[in-house]
Chains A and B, each alone.
Chain A
Amino acid sequence: MNSLMKFRRLNASKVRLSDSAVLAGAVSLLYALALIVCPRAFPELLERIFWSGGFFPALSLLVVATNETLFVLICRRRAQTTGLITSGYIAFLTIGVVSLFRLLVYGAHAQALLSQLFLRLPPGVRDGISSEDLLVYTHLAVVSGIFLPFLIVRMTQNYVSDANSAEDARARTAVAGR
């Protein structure tokens, strides 16, 4: 038996992976739509926010608020109690995922600065990360910030949650008994 399973099982809320998939997909489509409708203004806006600082804290806040709202909606729909443990776990994972993308963007920014320093690119090229790279990273950060925390919760909930289907347990016992 797994050592994690020896601990007292918690009565945590249960989520399904497809719950967050719809929201992440819709946000991704909206992002594409914004880029199609405003091909110049949208990247410029993102770049302006990035250079003014506070881009990733704002993104973290936005994605955490979105995920918590989604979690409350899932719990309401399934008539589950909104557990503080799962809410905190989702917030922690969301901030972790966005922080990971923050590190990636800063790494790409440093890499671009170094390559511009050593390769002596022509003047006029903006120092640091390009707006195209920033667009892709922002898209990935938003979608992953919504999808990955719920994926990790889905992967780990069977170890800590007591919400396993009793039907499955009965069927497994019946199959084993044959």
Chain B
Amino acid sequence: MYAAFAALAPFVLRWTRKERVGLDTSPHALLQRGELGLFGLLLAVSAVLDLRRSGFSTQLILTNAVILVVSGLMAASAWLEDNSRVSQGLPNADTRTWMDSRRLLFLVFSLAFTTEVLLEHSAEVWQR
């Protein structure tokens, strides 16, 4: 819920000012610097926290957590790379950063979703 609020808040705030200032409120314009990648890292961390509460073996939890965190960090690296380029005075590639962050967020979302489905399935099996 907090994540949804955090993701929607900038759109709502900018939409309210759109009429007056004439701002571009498209997702591409708002998140062109790879902010979606940071959201991906947040998603990966929340999935890891859920995983820690499961009844799986430590080895399995660790392996799954490593994969989730690596993909989350790679998603966040889209934002980091863009900001590093800008801070060094290099030309930034907004379209590329937007595409990278969007695709890597999709990967993290899919991994987190499947992890939650697997946790749910295991909990059902163990309850039987």
Once the chains are docked, how many angstroms separate the CA of A148 from the CA of B63? 13
Chain A residues with CB under 8 Å of B78's CB are: 18
Interface size in chain B (residues, C-beta < 8 A): 33
Judged by a CB distance under 8 angstroms, whether B56 is at the interface is yes
Chain B binding surface, main DSSP class: helix
Known: A111-B57, A151-B70. A132 touches B88 (CB 8 A): no
Assuming the contacts A18-B100, A133-B60, A136-B60, asked whether A147 and B107 have C-beta atoms less than 8 A apart, the reply is yes
- Are B90 and A168 within 8 A (Cβ)? yes
Q: At the interface, yes or no: B91 with Cβ under 8 Å from chain A?
A: yes
* Assembly CA distance A11 to B107 (angstroms): 29
Chain B residues positioned under 8 Å from A140 (CB to CB): 63-64, 67
Which residues of chain B come closer than 8 Å to A172, judged between CB atoms? 88, 90
The contact string, 1 if C-beta is below 8 Å from chain A, for chain B 93-128, is: 000000110011011011101100110011011100
* Cα-based distance from A35 to B64 in the complex (angstroms): 18
Please give the distance in Å from A24's CB to the nearest CB on chain B.
6
Is A18 a contact of B121 with CB atoms below 8 Å?
no
Tell me the B residues contacting A by CB distance below 8 Å: 56-57, 59-60, 63-64, 67, 70-71, 74, 78, 88-91, 99-100, 103-104, 106-107, 109-111, 113-114, 117-118, 121-122, 124-126
* Given known contacts A17-B74, A132-B125, A147-B107, A28 and B57 CB-to-CB distance under 8 angstroms: no
Instruction: Verify if A108 is at the interface (C-beta below 8 Å from B).
Output: yes
Q: Within the assembled complex, what's the spacing in Å between the Cα atoms of A26 and B64?
A: 18
* B92 to A: closest C-beta gap in Å: 10
How far is the CB of B56 from the nearest CB of chain A, in Å?
7
- A interface residue numbers (CB < 8 A to B): 16-18, 21-22, 24-26, 28-29, 31-32, 35-36, 39, 43, 104, 107-108, 111, 131-133, 135-137, 139-140, 143-144, 147-148, 151, 167-168, 171-172, 175, 178
Q: Are A171 and B90 within 8 A (Cβ)?
A: yes
Q: Establish whether residues B60 and A25, one from each chain, have CB atoms under 8 Å apart when the complex forms.
A: no
Which B residues touch A137, using CB under 8 A? Answer: 60, 63
Contact check, A25 vs B111: say whether CB atoms are below 8 A apart. Answer: yes
In the complex, chain A residues whose CB is within 8 Å of the CB of B99: 18
B88 touches A21 (CB 8 A): no
The docked-state distance in angstroms from the alpha carbon of A32 to that of B121 is 10
19 contacts between A and B (CB under 8 A): A21-B71, A21-B106, A22-B103, A25-B111, A28-B107, A28-B110, A28-B111, A29-B113, A35-B121, A39-B124, A43-B121, A108-B57, A108-B59, A135-B118, A147-B71, A148-B70, A151-B70, A167-B91, A171-B91
